[in-house]
Amino acid sequence: MTEHTFRLPDIGEGIAEAELSTWRVKVGDVVREDDVICEVTTDKASVEIPAAVGGTVTWLGGQAGEVMAIGSDLIRIDSDEAAASSAPESRAEPGAPASPAPAPTRPAPTRPATPAAPRRTAQSAAVAQARNAAGRPLAAPSVRGRARDLGIDLRQLRGTGPAGRILAEDLDDFLLHGPDLRSSVGRTRRTGTEEARVTGVRRTIAERMARAKQRIPHFSIIEEVEVEALEELRAKLNQRFGTERGKLTLLPFLLRALGEVVVDHPEVNAHYDDEAGVITRHEALHCGIATQTDAGLMVPVLTHAEARSLWDTAREIKRLSDSARERRIGSDDLSGSTLTVTSLGPLGALATTPIINHPEVAIVGVNKIAVRPVWDGRTFVPRRMMNLSCSFDHRVVDGYVAAEFVAKLKMLLETPAMLFMEWRDD
């Protein structure tokens, strides 16, 4: 008994690969010569492949549905018959020379040509270029001469000929496609793509973002805020109360400031129902807090920010963001915001152009704190600075109003004492 390997035969002119549609046999089956072993489909036809010898199937070269290169190993049949019409190949030497020339099957092409984009590529660019006895690129004189005439340095090419020899066709290919970018050491082109269905949270995000950006004419104001005093205060509070009440981030201070500012600028803390043509201004500040979760962006809502203490706000932010990230947040906590804050923390960049959370009319973006030189009138001094990037719905918020809103916010954050004292005249 000898094991014969049969290759996927050439089933049509110019076809490099075919889909293995059905196996008619499985490993262990006994087949007779000319029994159909499988069906393969090309874009032109469906073809039944018969067994070249009778015997026992010992190995199948692919699964149904798989696309196989013409000439790749298809099946192994253990048989005591001599393979008359096909090319036996001993399994012990998978890489053995194809010296007994296969009669009806073609030898396996080293790379099946892609029918659509027939770029010839050498085996691997990682392989050093084939050189001749004089150390030059392996190519016939005619190819070398043509390359010279064309001004092409053959060292840029990898040949597809025997032993990597550069063929006239490789030169044609180079002219057509330019240099093979894989040839620079260790760098390869990435060509794969991956499709993912847009569902669930992502789908909601996509729809809402699209609606917001399509309907709302955004404009943004970017302002810088010196946060030295605020940061000092925050550090002192954290030092004093951090252990029992938890550490404060900058966000509770910002919400406290917003709670004050919206009193003077109710236009900003509003909903605009553009279909009904109604603006609803809110006294309460229900602050949406943009939160990154594994599923994507979520905006849990911190209700009545104007009425909370710093630590209360901090605890609520933590509760909301934790439950959002753990995906156990209820719809109550995700709706009803009147103004949204978005902060990327240390990733916060220099400036951003946030998209308004429809039907709100403004969004406050917080950029990262960085020490920057500030001119104090006599000299540059290092100051902790933070930018605010706020976007507004220009249909209902005028630039002047927005600028005032941002200026007030800046003033409060730069003078944090005002967040905690009665400074209004009334």
Partner 1 sequence: MTELRCSLLVIGGGPGGYTCAARAARLGVDTILVEGNRVGGTCLNVGCIPSKSLIHVAQVYHTAVIQAGPGQLGVTVSAPALDFSQMQDWSRGVVNTLRNGVAGLLERSGVKTLTGWARFLDGKSIEVASDTGPVVVRAEHVVIATGSVPTELPGLPFGGRILDSTAALALPQPPKRLAVIGAGYIGLELGTAFAKLGSAVTMIEAAPAILPQFDDKLTRPARTRLAALGITLKLDTRTTGWNETTSTLGLAGSRGDETLDVDAVLVTVGRRPATDRLGLSELGLRRSGPFIEVDDRCRTSMRGVYALGDVTPGPMLAHRAMAQAEIVADVVAGRANAWDKTCVPAVCFTDPEIACAGLLPSEVPAGVASRVTEFPFRANGRALTLDDPEGFVRLVSREDDHVVLGIQATGPGVSELVSGFALVLEAGLRVEDIAGTIHAHPTLGEALQEAALAAASTRSLRDR
DSSP 22: E
Contacts with partner 1 by CB under 8 A: the residue count is: 27
- How far lies 273's CA from each of 242, 269, 415, in Å? 42, 13, 35
Specify whether the CB–CB gap between 338 and 356 falls below 8 A: no
Closest CB 218 distance from partner 1, rounded Å: 59
Q: According to the binding rule CB under 8 A, does residue 155 interact with partner 1? A: no
Closest CB 126 distance from partner 1, rounded Å: 13
Whether 218 is catalytic is no
Q: According to the binding rule CB under 8 A, does residue 92 interact with partner 1? A: no
> What's at 243, amino acid-wise?
T
Between CA 271 and CA 283 the distance in angstroms is 12
Binding partner 1 (rule: CB under 8 A), the pick from 14, 28, 65, 151 is 151
Whether 394 is catalytic is yes
> What phi and psi values does residue 212 have, to the nearest 5 degrees?
-60, -45
Return the C-alpha torsion angle 20, 26, 28, 29, nearest 10.
Answer: -100
Between CA 374 and CA 201 the distance in angstroms is 43
With CB under 8 A as the contact rule, which of the stretches 10-18, 74-82, 126-134, 199-207 interacts with partner 1?
Answer: 126-134
Nearer to partner 1, 93 or 244 (CB): 93
Q: According to the binding rule CB under 8 A, does residue 148 interact with partner 1? A: yes
Nearer to partner 1, 79 or 160 (CB): 160
Nearer to partner 1, 122 or 317 (CB): 122
Closest CB 127 distance from partner 1, rounded Å: 8
Q: According to the binding rule CB under 8 A, does residue 110 interact with partner 1? A: yes
Among 308, 220, 306, residue whose Cα is nearest residue 263: 306
Beta bridge partners of residue 22, listed in sequence order: 39
Binding partner 1 (rule: CB under 8 A), the pick from 36, 140, 295, 351 is 140
Closest CB 183 distance from partner 1, rounded Å: 17
Sheet of 380-393, strands arranged across: 218-226, 380-393, 362-375, 339-343, 287-289, 301-302
Q: According to the binding rule CB under 8 A, does residue 217 interact with partner 1? A: no
Which active-site residues does the annotation give? 394, 398
Residues that bind partner 1 (CB under 8 A): 93, 95-99, 108, 110, 123, 130, 132-134, 136, 138-141, 144-145, 148-149, 151, 162-165
